[in-house]
């Protein structure tokens, strides 16, 4: 039975300053935590809210792909709504390699559904797009920590680790400008129900100095404990950081730092100095993880799409070549680097595997081997790999062509020519870090069932067959590919052709389920074109939609990939133009925002324009084909590995394909695709695993459906992909990311 207290009804623990929550010690600063001493899995979290940047702390869970932290690191103050305006950065401080940063899209943050901005359920799980630094701990890998599942936390001595403010019990918290990792100790003394704060899901401790006058829980509840000799507390910047208990020499996380003492709480008689925060006599509240273990387990299961990217591993940051091995041992899939196990997950739960090598130059220096024990159905994608050997039935050794002196996607500021031994820590965030996709969505043209065939351009295999609209609809289906659900698996975006009322749908790439459906242009019954790219820079691909023939002015809209909200609406061409418009998306100017590429439809003279993704202003305008008056299809991707985006065009009549340098606006490549009298639709995909965009073409109306892939730099034909039956003459649409 709880002990009553005259302070119980009114006592409060004030929340730490929003999001900017290191560790404070007793009479001297808390000791620094050196890399390689058992706490490399405690991470710094940096978030952006408009023009403001905040920091918090978190820790790596056992699967190596999830971080557990506090919800209020990401939410708008006083609410449970994620409010960050850019990708969150998770930073690991590692031995020899220094700081390794991994950027996580907004959609990679899962907040506890019961969190509403108060003192309960203050938890969030962050899904890393790539495997965290792994391998032997203390040298190569970050420790992974299990949560404590017992119910006997009260009375245990705990270790608090975080990146927050520094200070002492006398001075209170002070600025920690260097964002160093520090640690201290305390003891859990009660649950929150004893002080009417947070109930039994709250773990409470106070900051003692050995004097009964400043023993807060002793004076309030009669729990007399004058503290540890080296006792400390948490401060601003520690929010979400782990609070460890030790069982048989192993660390477990019992709580996460949630809230603490504010200034001048009149109901706490033990404060040494009510004018300072986090001083002697104050109380702190941690979220009790054993209370939330079911929710944590459900939201931290190892992703079905496993991604090992050596650019985010310590081993990938030295001058030596690396070897990746994938094998199955018992029921588990194992990923090894240089004969060291980096990841072990149940093989039954893995649906795809992406392997990315390290190095910034040519040739690539990482090799990969797929053991014969790996199931044949497990699709493997290679990026920046020198040689890949697949020992499964029907496999073999392949050598992706050289090229790409820069990382794929936008090059980080100041990163040009950075040597291998000092790779920039601010590598671009997912999904650009592994770009382009290897998927092509093939939509049937007018006159056929509204089918979409999703094809892996690398293997040539069809991975999904979708009926996009009602079986009676025959207006054709235009397509794009992008990750809108934040699970790091590309989703399929479809748009109805003529007679479809501008209907757009999104199908989940992992499950095939329909996850979004809306009308892009209410009242317009013509065809709609779609593309996908991260226009608003939040780490999630957005939908770019364009009205087809019959709509005035080349109307283009951008819809937020995470929420579906309309982000932008503009007209690409003059109000008298009725030929419709095709669209693509990609970061032409390397500012971190996908720009919008438009191609004029029939009667538009092959006019191509580019609109800035951040500002919406027109930045480029040119005519792709001299003397040509018809329409043009567009796509965007880096075809030659120079780190700059290229614009691809295909004529709506005839089969003329061109590639333009988007910055220099010069023509790079020009060739004809045979059998395309009815026009040629274009897209990009990585069909040979070299990390670069290859050209994908689809035939227009009047010819048997044909999907061909051409090498982006030379125009040489690489392969043909599966399509629809040869008897159908309505043409096909092809869509990738970009």
Q: Take residue 623 and report the two structure tokens written for it.
A: 């005519």
Tokens in use for 533? 């790219």
pLDDT for the residue 8: 26
Say what the pLDDT of residue 718 is.
86
Name the more confident of 26 and 376: 376
**End-to-end alpha-carbon separation of the chain, Å?**
63
Cis omega (within 30 of 0) for bond into 8:
no
- Can you give the pLDDT at residue 175? 67
Mean pLDDT of the chain: 83
Domain 439-736, CATH 3.10.20.30 — does that match?
no
Q: What percent of the chain has pLDDT over 90?
A: 50
Question: What pLDDT, on a 0 to 100 scale, did the predictor assign at position 720?
Answer: 86
Asked whether residue 361 carries a pLDDT value surpassing 60, the answer given is: no
206-238: pLDDT as tens digits: 988 889 988 989 888 889 889 888 888 888 888
**Of 430-444, 535-549, 724-738, where does mean pLDDT reach its minimum?**
430-444
The token pair at 330 is 């018992």
Closest CA to 386 of 401, 396, 406: 401
Q: Which residues contact 655 (CB under 8 A, 6 or more apart)?
A: 672, 673, 674, 675, 676, 677, 679, 680, 697, 699
Res 264 pLDDT > 50: no
Q: Which pLDDT score is estimated for 3?
A: 21
User: What's the pLDDT score for residue 28?
Assistant: 55
Closest C-alpha to 13, from 251, 292, 204, 256: 204
More confident site: 424 or 457: 457
Q: Can you tell me whether residue 394 is helix, strand or coil?
A: coil
Long-range contacts of 504-511 (CB under 8 A, 24+ apart): 504/528, 504/530, 504/543, 504/545, 504/559, 505/468, 505/469, 506/543, 507/452, 507/464, 507/466, 507/468, 509/439, 509/481, 509/483, 509/485, 510/304, 510/305, 510/351, 510/485
Q: What are phi and psi of 719, to 5 degrees?
A: -170, 170
Mean pLDDT of 247-265: 77
Give the pLDDT band of residue 528 (cuts 50, 70, 90). very high
pLDDT tens track for 534-577: 898 777 889 999 999 999 999 999 999 989 999 999 999 999 99
Tens digits of per-residue pLDDT, 576-602?
Answer: 999 999 999 988 887 778 899 999 999
pLDDT in tens, 646-704: 899 999 988 899 999 877 678 888 988 876 678 899 999 888 766 678 899 998 888 88
Q: Where are the domains of the chain?
A: 42-268+275-299, 304-370, 439-736
Give tens-digit pLDDT for 78-117.
Answer: 899 999 998 999 999 998 888 999 999 999 999 999 999 8
Looking at domain 42-268+275-299, its CATH class is mainly beta
Cβ proximity of 412 and 424 under 8 Å: yes
Q: Is the pLDDT of residue 405 over 60?
A: no
Cβ atoms 688, 401 nearer than 8 A:
yes
Under a CB-based contact definition with an 8 Å cutoff, are residues 687 and 674 in contact?
no
State how far Cα 32 lies from the chain centre: 31
Percent of the chain with pLDDT over 70: 86
Residues 6 or more apart whose Cβ sits within 8 Å of residue 71:
80, 111, 112, 115, 121, 122, 123, 124
pTM here is 0.59
How many C-beta neighbours within 10 Å does residue 10 have? 10
| Residue 440, strand partner residues | 455
């Amino acid at each position: 039975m709880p002990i009553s207290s005259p302070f119980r009804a009114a006592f409060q623990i004030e929340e730490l300053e929003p999001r900017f929550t290191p560790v404070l010690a007793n009479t001297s600063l808390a000791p620094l935590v050196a890399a390689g001493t058992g706490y490399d899995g405690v991470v710094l979290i940096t978030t952006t809210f408009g023009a403001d940047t905040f920091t918090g702390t978190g820790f790596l869970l056992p699967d190596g792909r999830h971080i557990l932290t506090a919800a209020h690191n990401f939410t708008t103050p006083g609410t449970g709504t994620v409010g960050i305006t850019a990708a969150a950065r998770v930073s690991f401080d590692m031995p020899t390699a220094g700081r390794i940063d991994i950027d996580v899209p907004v959609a990679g943050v899962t907040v506890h559904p019961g969190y509403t901005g108060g003192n309960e359920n203050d938890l969030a799980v962050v899904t890393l797009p790539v495997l965290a630094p792994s391998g032997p701990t203390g040298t190569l890998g970050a420790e992974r920590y299990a949560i404590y599942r017992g119910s006997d936390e009260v009375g245990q001595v705990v270790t608090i680790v975080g990146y927050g403010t520094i200070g002492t019990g006398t001075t209170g918290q002070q600025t920690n400008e260097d964002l160093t990792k520090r640690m201290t100790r305390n003891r859990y003394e009660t649950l929150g129900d004893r002080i009417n704060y947070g109930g039994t899901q709250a773990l409470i401790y106070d900051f003692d100095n050995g004097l009964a006058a400043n023993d807060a829980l002793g004076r309030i509840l009669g729990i007399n404990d004058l503290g540890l000799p080296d006792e400390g507390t948490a401060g601003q910047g520690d929010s979400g950081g782990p609070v460890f208990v030790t069982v048989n020499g192993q660390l477990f996380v019992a709580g996460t730092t949630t809230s603490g003492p504010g200034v001048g709480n009149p109901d706490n008689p033990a404060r040494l100095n009510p004018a300072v925060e986090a001083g002697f006599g104050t109380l702190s509240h941690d979220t009790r993880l054993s209370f939330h273990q079911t929710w944590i387990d459900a939201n931290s299961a190892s992703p079905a799409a496993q991604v090992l990217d050596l650019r985010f591993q310590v081993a990938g940051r030295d001058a030596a070549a690396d070897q990746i091995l994938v094998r199955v041992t018992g029921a588990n899939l194992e990923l090894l680097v240089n004969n060291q196990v980096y990841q072990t997950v149940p093989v039954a739960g893995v649906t795809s595997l992406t392997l990315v090598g390290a190095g910034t130059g040519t040739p690539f220096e990482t090799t990969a081997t797929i053991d014969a024990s790996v199931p044949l159905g497990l699709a493997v994608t290679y990026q920046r790999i020198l040689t890949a050997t697949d020992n499964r039935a029907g496999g073999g050794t392949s050598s992706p062509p050289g090229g790409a002196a820069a990382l794929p996607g936008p090059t980080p500021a100041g990163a040009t020519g950075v040597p291998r031994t000092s790779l920039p820590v601010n590598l671009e965030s997912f999904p650009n870090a592994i770009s382009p996709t290897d998927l092509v969505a093939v939509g049937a043209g007018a006159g056929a069932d509204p089918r979409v065939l999703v094809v892996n351009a690398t293997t040539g295999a069809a991975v999904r067959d979708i009926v996009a609209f009602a079986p009676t609809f025959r207006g054709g289906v235009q397509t794009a590919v992008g990750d809108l659900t934040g699970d790091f698996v590309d989703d399929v975006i479809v748009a109805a052709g003529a007679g479809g009322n501008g209907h757009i749908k999104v199908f989940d790439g992992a499950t095939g389920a329909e996850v979004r459906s809306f009308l892009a242009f209410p009242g317009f019954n013509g065809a709609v074109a779609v593309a996908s790219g991260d226009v608003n820079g939040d780490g999630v691909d957005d939908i770019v939609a364009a009205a087809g023939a019959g709509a005035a002015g080349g109307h283009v809209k951008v819809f937020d990939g995470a929420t579906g909200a309309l982000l932008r609406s503009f007209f690409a061409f003059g109000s008298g133009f009725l030929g419709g418009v095709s669209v693509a998306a990609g970061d032409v100017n390397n500012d971190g925002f996908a720009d919008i590429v438009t191609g004029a439809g029939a009667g538009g003279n092959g006019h191509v324009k580019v609109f800035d993704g951040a500002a919406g202003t027109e930045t480029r305008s040119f005519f792709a084909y001299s003397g040509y008056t018809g329409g043009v299809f567009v796509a965007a991707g880096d075809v030659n590995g120079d780190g700059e985006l290229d614009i691809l065009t295909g004529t709506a009549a005839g089969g003329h394909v061109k590639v333009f340098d988007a910055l220099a606006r010069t023509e790079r490549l020009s060739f004809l695709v045979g059998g395309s009298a009815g026009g040629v639709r274009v897209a990009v995909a990585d069909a040979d695993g070299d990390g670069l965009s290859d050209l994908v073409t689809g035939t227009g109306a009047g010819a048997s459906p044909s999907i061909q892939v051409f090498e982006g730099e030379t125009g040489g034909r690489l392969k043909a992909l599966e399509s629809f039956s040869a008897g159908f003459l309505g043409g096909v649409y092809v869509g990738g990311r970009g």
